[in-house]
Each structure stands twice: as C-alpha cells, then as structure tokens.
Amino acid sequence: MSLEMKRLDKNNFCIGFLLVHLLLGHAQSAQLKTNCFTEQCGAELMGQVNDVYWESATAYRQFSDDVLSPEILMREKLRPFYETLKKFDWKSFQDPLLKRQFEVVLRGDIYPPLNYEFKKATNTLKSMAKQKFVCNRKKPHRLQSGQCTDFAFIHQIKSKIANSDDLEEIKWYWAEWRSRMPAQIKDALHYYIHYYQNMSTPEMSASAIWYDQYEDPNFLDELEELMDAIQPFYKEMHAHLKHALRQRYGDEVIPSTGLIPHHLMEQAMYQSWKKQSVLRNPFPQRKLPNVQHELDDLEWFPFDLVNISCSFFGSMGFNNLTEDFMRDNFIEMEPAEGGPDCKSRIFTYAEIELNYCPKVYYKKLLQTHGDITHIQYAILKNNLSVGLNQEAAPGFGNAMGEAVILSASTPKHLQERLGLLTTYDYDDILNLNRLYRMAVHTVLSIPTYFVHEKLWIDMIDNKVAPENYN
C-alpha cells in the first residue's frame, strides 16, 4: 500500500474516531444535568472530565495538523462540562487539589467556541513567515508587474539580512517584507485583536485574559521591572554595537546620535553566533573552538544526540528512558522536514512523540537537550489529572529547556561528560569570549521581544488606534 493511501486510511479512521468522541461528548453533556453539587459529586464529575480529557488528547494526536495547539483543542473538548462545573461552589471545597482542578478547567469557559475564522486566522499568522510575497530584487520586471512570489522571510529574506554586506540590499528586503504584507495577514491580525477585545469585560481587560494563565494581574509590570533591571547593561551593549557599526559602515550610515537603523540591528541579532558578525569577540586572538570539527571526527549518528541528551537527565537522577520507549516514540525526520533550522517536532499530550532532526551538528546537539527536557517534563505532567497537568506558566517548559541547554553548553560539561574539546584550555579569556557571544545573542534580543509584547497588549487593550497598527 502506498504511503499516500496509508495516510488517507489513517485520516479516515481518525475522522470517524473523532466523530464518535463528539457524539459521546454530547451524550455526556446530557448526563451532567444533576442536582448534586457537593464536593464529593464535584470529585466524581471531575473524574469524568479527566477521562474525556485524556481520551480526547490521544484521539487528537492521531490527526494533529499543528495549526491549533493541543491546549486550545482540549479546552474546546471540555466545553460540554463548563455549565455544570460552574454550578458548584468549588471555591469552598476542602480539597485544595480538586479546587485547583475546577479553577484551571473553568478558565476555558471565557473563550468563545472555536470556528472556521479562528482556525483560518491562526493558520495565516503561523505561516506568514513561510509565505512568498516579496520579489527578487535582481528581477526588476517582477517588481513592475507587482506579482511578487519569489521570497519568503524564513527561507530567503532572513538569510539575506544575516549574510549580505550590501547595505542597500539589506534595507530593501527588510522594507519590502513589511510593505508588501498581504491583506489576509493584516486581516488575521485584526481578527485576533478583536477576538480578545470581544472577550473583555469591565471587570477583566483583554490583557488580563491574555495573561490569565500566569495568575498575576501585574505580569506586565513585572516585565517592565525586569527591563529596568537589565537596562544599564543593555545600554552598554547598544552603545558597543553602535560603535562597531560606525566602524564598519561609517558616520553617514550610523550617526553619532539617534537610533540604530532597525535593519542593521536585526542583522546584528541574526549574526550573534556567526564568525563574520559585526560584533567581534573582545579577545579576537583567542578563537573559540569549532565543536563541529570534533563532531565530524566522532561520526555520530542523529540518534546519538538523543541518547546523549537522555543520559544528561539520567545523571541528575531522572528515570532513564528505556530502549523500547525511545524506539516507539522517537522518530527520525525525513531530510526535507523541519525547515532550514531542522526543527524537531514534539507532541507531549497523552502520547509522547519526538520527531528529531536527521543531522548532526553542534547547535542540534544542544537543542536536542532542550527537546528531551520537554519529554521528561511531559512524562511527569501526564501522570497528573486534568487541571493539575498544566505548565506552571505558559512557556515554562521552554524556559527549562533553555536552562538545560545553557548547562549542556558549558565547557566543563562538553569536556568532562561528552569528551569534546579536551585539548582546549578554557581559561578566563576564552570563557569571556564565550560569555560575550551569549550576551550578544540574549541581551540584544530581549528588549525587542518586550517591545513586541507591550505593543500587542496596548493593541488588545485599545490603547493603540487601528490606523497605527504596523
């Protein structure tokens, strides 16, 4: 049977399976009409919610298309329970875990039911960086026709900004990608803004809904305090970058006062780990070792990176992942999958699956440590009941993954645990070069992320007029 036929059969099976689940969901919603609202009845009802949640999580895994997150899909699956759950005086329950389950599950009630427009807008925004709507600058006839379908941001434009030495080319592609943004992308952004605005109430702003899972009404204030804390160091890095850009491009391009042109700021961030970066190491005579050369000599296979990452957690006392588990749940991707960064795909709801990169290079060695962090975290979460299995906060798993990557990338770990770079003496000077590259990668990008976050919050809270959206 061909691969296409197998996928078709699988999809047909999954669609049928989901229809059965939807019918069961409606049947269950009819059974929820009860006059018992004691804590014991609440516990029994939450047991039903838990069963539906985990059964549905397994079913959704079979046809996941990566458009809507599992969190959104599970929130929708539990919708038939919300009206009954709200009838309980759950805030007075004695069991703190049951009280917590009610609190978390009922958060889904504030969101409107899913519809086609929501999925369409989500898909448009998630795929915008892959859409080709910019012309090749070297084909002027395409520009004149206005039919620009040559370049996408993620595959071509980002590479040109990162690698080009032509100032006009960098600026041109930076501006074209923004000025030629298709109407459907702008419409999708407007849809999302209105989506959150329409949920807001006099008691709960759109931004409060956005940050609801952080359980902190002053979350943005805390982010601003964090920015104030790193501002002195950031100003020094900014001045340092400006000086380096003036040395490379001259005073006419980079004046002594004012802002750094954004396309050059963007280039510096993309070049954070590149040898040809405008920001040179403080001790250029002491070059950082090329780990890739050693990896090539070792002739490791892609799955070796997975095994090494699993061993990292075993060394810290986590349960070792068995060979059977890895064989059944870890799948090597096809060479064309994963995009230019060969990004792994991970599914951690009910069933666990890691589709890992089929290439061996240093960046992927570190990223695989982050991937296994998600797997280990998921194994622990999946042993908990619905409402207790949420991340501590959105992105918490990613933060732990980054922390593990930082640990795995230290010279001590590479040398003593992995047997890499054993001929290098990581003295203070070489270590300063390494820390400098980390600072370039991190400190220059955090304020940009914050500005994007602050702008988004101001838009959904109606503090920015629609005509000023960019």
Supply the pLDDT for residue 57: 86
- Which string of b and e fits 288-324 if b means at least 16 CB within 10 Å? bbebeebbeeeeeebbebbbbbbebbeeeeeeebeee
What is the mean predicted confidence (pLDDT) over 283-302?
90
Is the confidence at residue 14, as pLDDT, over 60? Answer: no
C-alpha separations of 12 from 7, 18, 80 in Å? 9, 10, 25
- Which string of b and e fits 72-110 if b means at least 16 CB within 10 Å? bbbbbbbebbbebbeebebeebeeeebbbbbebbbbbee
Q: Note the Cα 263 to chain centre separation in Å.
A: 23
Quick one: pLDDT band at residue 31, thresholds 50, 70, 90? Answer: low
Q: Is residue 338 part of a domain?
A: yes
Q: Is residue 22 part of a domain?
A: no
Annotated binding site: 214, 374
Q: Is residue 467 part of a domain?
A: no
Is the confidence at residue 3, as pLDDT, over 50? Answer: no
Is the confidence at residue 400, as pLDDT, over 50? Answer: yes
Residue, of 400 and 469, whose pLDDT is higher:
400
What does R_g of the chain's alpha carbons equal in angstroms? 25
Annotated binding site for Zn(2+): 374
Supply the pLDDT for residue 439: 87
Please give the Cα distance from 240 to 263 (Å, whole number). 17
Q: Is residue 87 part of a domain?
A: yes
Surface-to-core class of residue 202, CB atoms within 10 Å of its CB (0-12 exposed, 13-18 middle, 19+ buried): exposed
Q: Of 72, 96, 113, which residue sits at a domain end? A: 113
Q: What contacts 262, CB < 8 A, 6 or more positions away?
A: 174
Lowest mean pLDDT among 8-17, 96-105, 174-183: 8-17
C-beta separation of 360 from 295 below 8 A:
yes
Annotated binding site for chloride: 214
Q: What contacts 171, CB < 8 A, 6 or more positions away?
A: 261, 263
Residue, of 333 and 18, whose pLDDT is higher:
333
Is the confidence at residue 244, as pLDDT, over 60? Answer: yes
Supply the pLDDT for residue 18: 42
Q: Is residue 53 part of a domain?
A: yes
Q: Is residue 85 part of a domain?
A: yes
Q: Of 411, 426, 441, which residue sits at a domain end? A: 426
Please give the Cα distance from 176 to 136 (Å, whole number). 10
Is the confidence at residue 276, as pLDDT, over 90? Answer: no
Quick one: pLDDT band at residue 51, thresholds 50, 70, 90? Answer: very high
pLDDT digits (tens, 9 = 90+) for 298-352: 889 999 999 999 999 999 999 999 999 999 999 999 988 877 789 999 988 888 9
SS3 of 440, please? helix
Which two structure tokens, joined as six digits, stand for 94? Answer: 């004695």
Is the confidence at residue 2, as pLDDT, over 50? Answer: no
- % of residues, the chain, pLDDT over 90: 68
Is the confidence at residue 393, as pLDDT, over 70? Answer: yes
What is the mean predicted confidence (pLDDT) over 59-67?
72
Lowest mean pLDDT among 208-212, 262-266, 274-278: 274-278
Q: Interior CA angle at 271 toward 266 and 275, to 5°?
A: 160
Is the confidence at residue 20, as pLDDT, over 60? Answer: no
Task: Please tell me the pTM assigned to this model.
Answer: 0.85
Q: Is residue 55 part of a domain?
A: yes
What is the mean predicted confidence (pLDDT) over 274-283?
86
Split into its structural domains, the chain has a count of: 2
Q: How high is the mean pLDDT of the chain?
A: 88
Supply the pLDDT for residue 34: 64
- CA-closest candidate to residue 64, choices 355, 303, 270, 295: 355
C-alpha separations of 367 from 59, 306, 360 in Å? 28, 10, 11
Domain that holds residue 75: 37-113
Supply the pLDDT for residue 167: 94
Quick one: pLDDT band at residue 35, thresholds 50, 70, 90? Answer: confident
Q: Is residue 468 part of a domain?
A: no
Q: What element of type H or E holds 355?
A: strand 353-356
C-beta separation of 388 from 334 below 8 A:
no
Supply the pLDDT for residue 146: 67
Supply the pLDDT for residue 24: 46
Quick one: pLDDT band at residue 60, thresholds 50, 70, 90? Answer: confident
Residue 423 exposure: Cα atoms within 13 Å on the Cβ side: 4
Is the confidence at residue 461, as pLDDT, over 70? Answer: yes
Q: What element of type H or E holds 403?
A: helix 396-408
C-alpha separations of 126 from 121, 185, 223, 226, 372 in Å? 9, 10, 25, 28, 24
SS3 of 285, please? coil
- CA-closest candidate to residue 454, choices 211, 107, 180: 211
Quick one: pLDDT band at residue 405, thresholds 50, 70, 90? Answer: very high
Q: Of 87, 113, 139, which residue sits at a domain end? A: 113
pLDDT digits (tens, 9 = 90+) for 132-171: 999 999 887 666 666 788 999 988 999 999 999 899 999 9
Supply the pLDDT for residue 32: 54
